[in-house]
Structure 1
Amino acid sequence: MDENDKQNLNQRTYCPPNFVDEECDGQIRDGTWRAGVKMDGLQNIRRSTAHRALQIAYNQRDILTDYLLTPMGKIL
């Protein structure tokens, strides 16, 4: 992103001009990103559990959270 900011405005790839939605005088102007998005395309996506952590990972997270919230676990 830093290197992208050094590019000429019209040559940027990270966020080119008019890419994001903008507000002008209280009106929202759609960005060009919407041109490639089908609004009904997300309705048929099935729920995925492939990226769910194991219960042991959640337990470890809770143990660390409880410890770090005590005076002894305080990070200086």
Structure 2
Amino acid sequence: MAEEQTDERVHRVVVNDEQQYSVWPADRPLPLGWYAEGTEGTREACLAHIAEVWTDLRPLSLRRQMEAASS
């Protein structure tokens, strides 16, 4: 059985206009529509940060639509 490889690259937390989060390798250009959130580190550390801050997984446009409908 092959040993599990660990990803030693530095990653960054990225966010889009819908306030959705993802992890992206720090040495690669960001994809269009995504912005660096400010957190960098191991992939696992970035995922842990996302789990802590991204508590509402609904896209921003849906949250706004739901708020407007409830008003």
Assess same fold via TM > 0.5.
no
- Give the TM-score of the pair, scaled to structure 1: 0.24
- Give the TM-score of the pair, scaled to structure 2: 0.25
Bigger relative CO (Cα 8 Å, ≥ 6 apart): 2
* Structure with greater proportional strand content: 2
- Say which one has the larger Rg: 1
